């Protein structure tokens, strides 16, 4: 079996394409293990599709499925283009629906479509959270100090993730053009170096509340500067990817 390992802002994935639709959850848990496997945040299988360039089957490192992953979308788009599975500009099918992507060198832009507001009135530990759907559910709250952004998981974040079955984002708005944030991701069960769908939800919420300008930079724990914008109410996300290498198992 031949796989490619990619990283998008420190969010890393193992990717392969196949004609065989199967349950790869056990394989994901095995290969994504940081100590006894190759190590990754997720495993993605690309499958043929009659309407789209391909369909993806996405697994978190714990073997669970996810409807959408923004950083994986960037990696997969580049992989598909480089392996002649799709042109630079194409669409693929995820559980969240059609995902539109465009490859320009190592930079890939993803169209998240329209972000949905699910709940505006969640108060936890004196923080005002919003629940949004950016392909997967995300809780988002804004904090007043950048130094209070979590660097590691804690009981508060774990309990929120379990209570709402959602990813949890804490964000600090530095100015109208820049947001720093940290995301606790379900399926990985840790603060990850970057989460594309979490950044998309955070950007949409801040823009809706008129706290930032359109075309804003979001900075996750990896330190990468990711560009977000809206066009016709769709949220677009752009950043560079890195191919780590190929693996044969």
Question: pLDDT (tens digit, 9 = 90+) per residue, 131-173?
Answer: 999 999 999 999 999 999 999 999 999 999 999 999 999 999 9
Residues 72 and 176 in one domain: no
Known catalytic membership, residue 195: yes
What tokens does 75 get? 């990696």
pLDDT given at position 15: 98
Q: Within this chain, do residues 96 and 77 fall inside the same structural domain, yes or no?
A: yes
Residue 152: Cβ-neighbour burial (10 angstroms; 0-12, 13-18, 19+): exposed
The neighbour count for residue 104, using CB atoms within 10 Å, is 12
Same structural domain for residues 106 and 178?
Answer: no
Do 84 and 120 lie in one domain? The reply is: no
Query: What is the domain-level CATH number for residue 204?
Result: 3.10.310.10
Count the domains in the chain: 2
Q: Which residues lie across from 57 on neighbouring strands?
A: 45
8 Å CB contact between 195 and 185: yes
What is the rounded average pLDDT of the residues 62-70? 91
Residue showing tokens 């009135």? 121
How much of the chain exceeds pLDDT 70, in percent? 100
Q: Which domain holds residue 221?
A: 116-232
83 lies in the same domain as 179: no
Instruction: Give residue for tokens 């809780």.
Output: 139
Please work out, in degrees rounded to the nearest 5, the angle formed at the alpha carbon of residue 113 by the alpha carbons of 59 and 165: 45
Structure tokens at 163: 């209570």
Report yes or no: 14 and 38 within 8 Å, Cβ to Cβ. yes
Q: Give per-residue pLDDT as tens, 18-37.
A: 999 999 999 999 999 999 99
Q: What mean pLDDT is reported for the chain?
A: 96
Tell me what pLDDT residue 67 has: 85
Which residue in 32, 69, 75, 216 is the catalytic one? Answer: 69
The dihedral of CA 71, 72, 74, 75: what is its sign? positive
Are residues 214 and 177 part of one domain?
yes
Assess whether 14 and 121 both reside in one domain: no
150 plus 204 within the same structural domain: yes
| pLDDT tens-digit series, residues 172-209 | 999 999 999 999 999 889 999 999 999 999 999 999 99
Instruction: Give the mean pLDDT of 223-242.
Output: 95
Report the predicted TM-score, pTM, of the whole model to 2 decimal places.
Answer: 0.90
> Do 74 and 156 fall into the same domain?
no
69 a catalytic residue: yes
Centre a 10 Å sphere on the Cβ of residue 213 and count the other Cβ atoms it contains.
12
Catalytic pick among 32, 75, 195, 216? 195
84's enclosing H/E stretch is none
Task: Output the pLDDT for position 158.
Answer: 96
Are 59 and 84 found together in one domain? Answer: yes
Is residue 94's pLDDT more than 90?
yes
Q: Do 126 and 100 sit in the same domain of this protein?
A: no
**Closest to 40 measured CA to CA, from 82, 71, 80:** 71
Task: Examine the domain organization and report whether 226 and 125 are in the same domain.
Answer: yes
């Amino acid at each position: 079996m031949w796989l490619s390992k990619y990283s998008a802002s420190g969010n890393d994935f193992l990717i392969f394409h196949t004609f065989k639709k199967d349950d790869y959850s056990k394989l994901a848990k095995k290969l994504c293990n940081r100590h006894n496997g190759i190590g990754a945040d997720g495993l993605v299988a690309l499958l043929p599709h009659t309407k789209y360039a391909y369909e993806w089957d996405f697994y978190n490192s714990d073997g669970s499925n996810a409807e959408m992953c923004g950083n994986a979308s960037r990696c997969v788009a580049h992989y598909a283009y480089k392996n002649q599975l799709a042109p630079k500009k194409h669409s693929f099918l995820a559980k969240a629906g059609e995902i539109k992507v465009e490859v320009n060198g190592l930079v890939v832009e993803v169209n998240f479509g329209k972000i949905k507001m699910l709940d505006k009135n969640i108060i936890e530990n004196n923080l005002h959270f919003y629940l949004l759907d950016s392909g997967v559910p995300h809780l988002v709250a804004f904090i007043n100090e950048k130094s209070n952004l979590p660097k590691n998981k804690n009981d508060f974040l774990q309990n929120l993730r379990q209570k709402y079955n959602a990813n949890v984002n804490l964000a600090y708005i530095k100015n109208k053009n820049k947001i720093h944030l940290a995301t606790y991701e379900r399926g990985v069960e840790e603060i990850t170096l970057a989460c594309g769908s979490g950044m998309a939800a955070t950007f949409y919420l801040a823009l809706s509340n008129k706290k930032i300008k359109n075309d804003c930079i979001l900075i996750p724990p990896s330190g990468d500067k990711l560009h977000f914008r809206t066009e016709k109410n769709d949220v677009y996300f752009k950043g560079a990817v890195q191919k780590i290498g190929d693996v044969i198992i």
